A and B are shown apart, each in its own frame.
Chain A
Amino acid sequence: MALVRIPPVLRPSVGGEREVEAAGNNIGEVLASLVANHPATKDQIFGPDGTLNRYVNVYLNDEDVRVLDGLETVVGAGDHLVILPAMAGGS
């Protein structure tokens, strides 16, 4: 089980949780498991072609998965994922 940090804009889609657990051996499987449990997150994370939306970054521990093996990146038990959409709010 990996622990996935949910950004504020996605929390309404996961029942308000800040972190959720999700199963899977790689990033793609963990995110698919997240989407299966919380279908409202699907269109926010994945594009129509099944790839990560480009305005969403996913980090395994502190590394961007795009510089690792993308959705194929292996996830171990106890790893942390961070889903990070861009934020703009300063006022």
Chain B
Amino acid sequence: MEGSVQNPNQSTTAAELIADIKLRVAEVAPAEIKDGLPEGAVLIDVREDGEYATGHIPSAHHIPRSYLEMRIENIAPDRDTPLVLYCAGGVRSLYAAKTLVDDLGYTDVKSLNGGITLWKDGGHPVEIPKTLTPVQADRYSRHLLLSEVGLEGQQKLLDAKVLLLGAGGLGSPTALYLAAAGVGTLGIIDGDVVDRSNLQRQVIHTEDRIGTLKVESAAASINALNPDVEVVQYPYRIGPDNIMDILPNYDIVVDGLDNFPTRYLLNDASVRLKIPVVSASILGFEGQISVFSPYEGPCYRCLFPVPPPPELAPSCGANGVLGVLPGTMGLLQATEVMKLILGQGDTLVGRLLLYDALATSFTELKIGRDPECPICSRSPDAISDSEMGVFPDYDAFCDGSH
């Protein structure tokens, strides 16, 4: 055509291009992967969001072809990871494979012959993902834009069950932000009522709810913020008589407890049940936080085998706390909770973080498992039911520290 730019490749047809790619990119048949991929290999669905929503191969990660270059490293940072890509019919996945090999240097990329259509024809299983409502897609849109969260991650958040011990200084900001983020179930244990002196820092409560149960006040704030969240209220203190009934219903526990006996009780129960605990404490202008993930890192007893005597363990009520400090520490807890749910990043397992608000300084300390820990050096199954049924008398154990 007159005036048109001559492209040296203009004679290549789409069919020729595909034929060329097929010479270089291996294809696998559905039957070859029906029983799962080899160890370490990753299956990726490169179709668009709407197609993925109609059903995908179980265990597949989803990266639409248009986001492939941007997101592939989140799933497969190692260029030698064996990858199998699929689309609807097996053509787009070939193009996608060529991109990964030619442009990003992946060394072992295959394409599923016939795509999910041939997979389904073979009678192999398809999983239909849960989808967000249009209102949810709008509410969580800033999450959906993050490759580390996305639709898959948001669904994990909506499915997650997090137990908050206390709706106080730490629990208030943690609960509000986890609710805003769309964590689907929040259990809250607190037997206290809202007091005016709480309002300097416990931002989930309000002046007009003074005198009402903290769990009710917290539920009202959470429901006003995000109706997606189911709040389970436990209007009493956690103790030896109820902890083993409540904890198994949750994926993660957020510990904002204000006394040592219950911290040790929580530790022993969470190790027994293998539930991670995101633990923080505050005093004055300083806070400390860590994640105790049973058998992966140390437990609380590895760090502090015995509680301090009462004179070294003052409570916040007696000593005061800067109003914003539980906000800072509570949101560090909420961040760790979200990372645990999403399976992203490096959590504080094995690390204790100290925050000094007056100095504006963070100090990180390494904490390791104690091979002689009375609790987590043993397998949970080695701890008999009778032992679990009888907790030590923690109140006498460190009487007066709370």
| Chain A residues within CB distance 8 Å of chain B | 5, 7-9, 18, 44, 53-57, 59, 62-64, 67, 82, 84-91
Contacts and interface: CB of A to CB of B under 8 A. Distances in A.
Contact of A87 (B256, B283, B309, B317): B283
A55 B258 contact: no
B304 A86 contact: yes
Nearest to A90: B256
A56 B306 CA distance: 9
A82 B281 contact: no
Interface in B293-328: 303-309, 312-317, 319, 321, 326
B170 interface: yes
B196 to A, nearest CB: 14
B364 interface: yes
A20 to B, nearest CB: 14
Nearest to B351: A62
Interface stretch (B68-76, B151-159, B365-373): B365-373
Contact of A90 (B257, B284, B313, B363): B257
- Top 4 A-B pairs ranked by shortest CB distance? A90-B256, A91-B168, A89-B316, A86-B304
Contacts, number: 108
Interface residues of B, number: 52
B312 A88 contact: no
Contact of A62 (B283, B309, B365): B365
B303 A88 contact: no
Given A9-B312, A91-B316, 9 more contacts: A9-B283, A18-B359, A62-B365, A64-B366, A86-B260, A86-B308, A88-B257, A89-B258, A91-B198
Contacts of B168: 90-91
A88 B198 CA distance: 17
Interface of B: 165-166, 168-171, 198, 202, 255-260, 263, 280-286, 288, 303-309, 312-317, 319, 321, 326, 352, 354, 356, 358-359, 363-368, 401-402
A55 B352 CA distance: 15
B312 A55 contact: yes
Contacts of A59: 365-366
Contacts of B363: 5, 62, 82
A31 B364 CA distance: 21
B256 to A, nearest CB: 3
Contacts of A82: 354, 363, 365
A82 B366 CA distance: 12
Contacts of B260: 86, 88
A87 B309 CA distance: 11
B366 A8 contact: no
Nearest to B313: A88
A53 B305 CA distance: 11
Contacts of B313: 9, 85-88
Nearest to B190: A91
Given A55-B312, A62-B364, A82-B365, A89 B283 contact: yes
A64 B365 contact: yes
Contacts of A55: 304-309, 312
Given A44-B312, A55-B312, A90 B169 contact: yes
B312 A90 contact: no
A17 to B, nearest CB: 12
7 contacts: A9-B312, A62-B366, A84-B354, A88-B258, A90-B171, A90-B256, A91-B317
A90 B306 contact: no
A89 B256 CA distance: 7
A22 B46 CA distance: 62
Contacts of A89: 258, 281-283, 314-316, 319, 321
A53 B268 CA distance: 22
Contact of A63 (B305, B308, B366): B366
B173 to A, nearest CB: 12
Contacts of A54: 305-306
Given A5-B363, A54-B306, A82-B363, A88 B166 contact: no
Contact of A9 (B258, B314, B352, B358): B314
Contact of B356 (A18, A85, A90): A18
A27 to B, nearest CB: 15
